[in-house]
Chain A
Amino acid sequence: MGRKPRKNDSLPGSLDMLILRTLSLRSLHGYGIVQFIQQSSDDQLLVEEGSLYPALQRLELNGWIDGVWGVTPNHRRARIYKITEAGRQQLDLEARKYAKLTLAIARVMGAQ
């Protein structure tokens, strides 16, 4: 591993959004979520694995995701998380906020 993948700490709170986005595409277990984020960011984003579980608990407490014990595609027993309707709404909200923020940052960075 020559390059050091960037840890997800530049935008606090964005881990929740990434998890919701991932689960909006398909239901996954914890490790699956880490892998998905890593792969789909082209290894640019590395989820701090220890932080994942508190984040999952927080999302579950808020009623945005729902975890059920089941079996992964490669036949392992795991707790599979599924996004709820409230979770989709929350994702919409956070995606909009995020778009605004990145736009604003881009404007600042683009200014001469």
Chain B
Amino acid sequence: MKVFRRLKYWFDSSRRGESLGEEIEIHLAEKAAELEADGMTAERARAEARRRFGNVGLKREESREIWMTRALSELVQDVRYAWRAMAANKAFSALAILSLALGIGANTAIYSLMESILLRSLPVADPESLVVVNWRSRPPQNANRQWEHVIHGVQGILWPGDKGVLVSGMFPYRAFELFRQDNPVFSTVFGYFNGRSRTLAVHGQATSVNTEYVTGEYFHGLAVSPAAGRLIESDDDRPGAAPVAVISFAASQNRFGGAPAAIGQSILVNNAPFTVIGVAPPEFFGVDPAAAPDLYLPLRANVLVDGAGAARMYDDENFYWIEMMGRLRPGVSMAQAQAVLEPRFHQWVASTARTDGERARLPALMLNPGDAGLGGLRREYSKPLYVLLAMVGLILAITCVNIANLLLARAAARRREMAIRLSLGAGRFRVVRQLLTECVVLASLGGAFGVLFAIWGVRWLTYLFSNGRENFTLRAELNWQVLGATAALTVACGLLFGLAPALQSTRPDVLPTLKNVRGGGPRRRAQHVLVIAQVAMSFLILVAAGLFVRTLDKLHNVQLGYARDNILLFSLNARQAGHRDPEIVTFYTELRKRFESVPGVSSATLSQSSIINAGHAGKTYRGAMKIGAVPVTGARVMVAGPRFLTTMRIPVLAGREIDDRDHTGSTPVAVISELLARTYFGNENPVGRRITFVDDNRDLEIVGVSANLRNGGLKQESPMTVFIAVTQFSPEGMTYALHTAGDPLSYVNSVQEIVREADSRIPVTNVITQAAEIDRTISRERMFAKLCTGFAVLALLTACVGLYGTTSYSVARQVGEIGIRMALGARRSAVVWMVLRRVVLLAAIGLAIGAPAALIGFRLVKSLLFETQPNDPGALAAAGVVLLGAAVLAGYAPARRASRIDPLVALRHE
């Protein structure tokens, strides 16, 4: 109640103030009237009334202060005073605010990214009760390094867990049914799997969209309500149900001009007809923060879209593909659910094992929190983000130390002011509080500008993070949580850099200061400690920058073995538009010839994916291979069209490359890479020999040997490659490559035109140059190198400002001493050296502290480096040299100034 009345008072405090003034005036008038009636003159009566009342202004002040707490009114005073102090020292304030804005802004931007990737919940009702169902298992290879596991096939991602186990979220359909039937711990269980890109045709316009297959319980389990129409229900997810689809809100806007307009529309998904029955709400993006499906189809509809063969997936107990989440019943904890479901799953999965080896490595059920959705993005980015956060944290710490240092120097100037205030009876705590208020005000301004800087920073970071990813959906924003953290950080900074100087300048030994004696040894020590800390922290950032730049450099210098420039890549999928074997092969090869006939295109080819993505994308042969009776290990198969080696500028070392002679009916052929030839044929000529594809039960004739190429990512050791002819393999989507004269992207229009003429139902996707395609596989390394270089420059500048400030200050204090030395015959060079020696010493101590910290700390980032050791001597030495050089530069100007001191002037000054 009291608080409430106080608040009410604050709201109209000015009116209350006037009211009080009037009340007192009336009181005085009444008193005066009474005195006058007793016989005084009017004038004397008024004076007497006032005299008896006491100090009217003071009493008014006192009355008002009863409503404010004292702390608050003092705070208002302090803030006003702080404002004046800041305005009086504009250059210092501007510098401090700018550096704080950069530091706080960088922290806010990185934190908002972290918040969106690592911390944010799914935008559904009660996300805390959602759990993701996973399993973990020992590695599937037996002692002979052969696959022996109940999992015979997978469609999805496995990732490494602790202690070498494998973890995944994929299950056979039967396991999903097992959990769905009378589940005592989940109120709903729903399944889904990523359909990846499918061709969506609306009114004859075909595009490629991300598709999610979902079971009938999916939307109900997530408790999502539609933006229009209705969502997929259990009845839609049965064999033979009417083909229906739900689209994302964004897709309804782009393709139909609004959510209501989409309902009831006919669409084609991979050329199969569907009816749109509903639109998901705008904020909904499915269960994986890394993806944003535009199309949701009932699980069973995959038979319509992906062909009747997909029906096999439902009965195969050893094929793992469906992912699932459950919603806990009220009052059931995740641990309880785990205890109930784990034995149930174990019993079931044991029944699917056929050999003892399989029984020895059964997957075990593991529940994980599902409030933030699937963890792919978290797994990939949590470490880089923590590293970045540590770096921007260091930058902010350096900034704070720097400001503390400048404040210490300034505290010297204000020491007299403080001494006077203290000797006049101000409490030390009160003065410290006032000084801290100044710092917090400074920091708050820095924080406010920092938020502006962060708005821009988040945009830039999102761009860097998403570099080259299609449909990358990072929802970083400055929400209340982020701004709250920023505010807390700001205040903490203000207190951090303000406390030491405030305590220093209010030390109780005021007398020497008042007498203007030069004391202050402890302050110089404090300054030195701060400079050393700054140097050590800057060193860490410089080393980090060195390591990441070196990593990027190594990646750029990887020998690809194929052309990087002047190549245009794009993908198309004729099968999704309805082309079937054997016509699809003719379609693809005819298209290649037409691309090759474009003026400026020297050659054109096609393959199941770009070389850099081989092994991660596209349909190819992944089974066992043999040469004679010897199994081939570590080789990768690339499905290639004619003139692949020519287009990619891969030399043919023997025989020939795949060309138009290799058609569907002719002898199946293969071209192998040099390493493969050396490994399995030694010095013999492999041309004319055979390689067997065991799973396809097919022998291929080796017709040529290519030079080695780095097939797959840049970081992998160059694997052996087997090229097979696209005409002799039943292809899905294809990636074309055109070797062009001039900018590859200037050929995009011609390409679009040719594809439209050939079949307007096929969208051209993933249009990119080879160079950009390669670069985007190392986007994280590029981002780190860029960001860390920026951070390093910032840290170095800040450290230099700190060193310069400290040195200038101590030179100013030593004018007398230097004057005496020079009068006694010291040379200028000796004076320069005297000053510089201290700078170098401080920097050296900083380095001595920073180096072991770097050696220990950077072990944590080893996994982010490539062919670079965390203790890379080059990076450490470079950082040390740069830092020492910068220190000497920063110290040189004050040192030179010291050497120019005129002994006469200096001594007279004393």
Contacts and interface: CB of A to CB of B under 8 A. Distances in A.
Contacts of A61: 2, 5-6, 9, 66-67
Interface string B501-517: 00000000000000000
A31 B31 contact: yes
B877 to A, nearest CB: 68
A85 interface: no
B463 interface: no
A61 B13 CA distance: 13
A50 B59 contact: yes
A56 to B, nearest CB: 8
B295 to A, nearest CB: 64
Interface residues of A, number: 21
Contact of B52 (A49, A58, A79): A49
B59 A63 contact: no
A53 interface: yes
A53 B20 contact: yes
A100 interface: no
A52 to B, nearest CB: 8
Interface in B39-72: 52-56, 58-60, 62-64, 66-67
B26 interface: yes
B23 interface: yes
A62 B64 CA distance: 14
Contacts of A77: 26
A54 B62 contact: yes
A63 B63 contact: no
B430 interface: no
B54 A48 contact: yes
Contacts of B55: 50
B66 A57 contact: yes
A53 B26 contact: no
A20 B54 CA distance: 23
A95 interface: no
A75 to B, nearest CB: 12
Interface string A46-79: 0011110110111011110000010000001111
**Contact size range, B:** 20 to 34
A76 B27 CA distance: 11
A53 B59 contact: yes
B5 A78 contact: no
B30 interface: yes
A32 B597 CA distance: 109
Contacts of B59: 50-51, 53-54
Contacts of A29: 23, 26
B817 to A, nearest CB: 57
Interface in B8-35: 9, 19-20, 23-24, 26-27, 30-31
Contact of B23 (A30, A50, A63): A30
A5 to B, nearest CB: 11
Contact of A63 (B5, B53, B54, B64): B5
A51 B24 CA distance: 11
Contact of B19 (A50, A63, A79): A79
A49 B31 contact: yes
Contacts of A30: 23-24, 26-27
Interface in A89-105: none
B1 interface: yes
A96 B27 CA distance: 32
B48 to A, nearest CB: 12
Contacts of A48: 54
B66 A49 contact: no
Interface in A1-56: 29-31, 48-51, 53-54, 56
Contacts of A79: 19, 23
A50 B58 CA distance: 9
A54 B66 contact: yes
A64 to B, nearest CB: 11
Q: Which of B2, B19, B60, B66 has the most CB of A within 10 A?
A: B66
Nearest to B1: A63
A63 B24 CA distance: 21
A62 B67 CA distance: 10
Nearest to A56: B63
Contacts of A69: 19
A29 B29 CA distance: 13
Contacts of A51: 54, 59
Nearest to B16: A57
Contacts of B30: 31, 76
Interface string B101-116: 0000000000000000
Most buried by B among A54, A69, A78: A54
Contacts of B5: 60-61, 63
A26 to B, nearest CB: 17
A53 B54 contact: no
Contacts of B67: 57, 61
Contacts of B2: 61-63
B53 A49 contact: yes
Contacts of A50: 53-56, 58-59
A63 B5 CA distance: 8
Contacts of A56: 63
A57 B63 CA distance: 6
A55 to B, nearest CB: 9
A49 B265 CA distance: 85
B53 to A, nearest CB: 5
A48 B56 CA distance: 12
A12 to B, nearest CB: 16
Contacts of A78: 23, 26
A71 B245 CA distance: 77
A15 B24 CA distance: 18
A53 B24 contact: yes
A76 B28 CA distance: 13
Contacts of B20: 53, 57
A48 B67 CA distance: 21
A58 to B, nearest CB: 5
A69 B5 CA distance: 18
Contacts of A58: 66
Given A53-B59, A54-B63, A31 B54 contact: no
Nearest to B38: A1
Nearest to A77: B26
7 contacts: A48-B54, A50-B53, A50-B55, A53-B63, A54-B62, A63-B1, A79-B23
Across chains A and B, which 9 residue pairs bring their CB atoms closest together, nearest first? A50-B54, A50-B59, A57-B66, A57-B63, A54-B62, A31-B30, A54-B63, A49-B53, A53-B63
Interface of B: 1-2, 5-6, 9, 19-20, 23-24, 26-27, 30-31, 52-56, 58-60, 62-64, 66-67
Given A50-B59, A53-B23, A53-B63, 11 more contacts: A29-B23, A30-B27, A49-B52, A49-B53, A51-B59, A57-B67, A61-B67, A63-B2, A69-B19, A79-B19, A79-B23
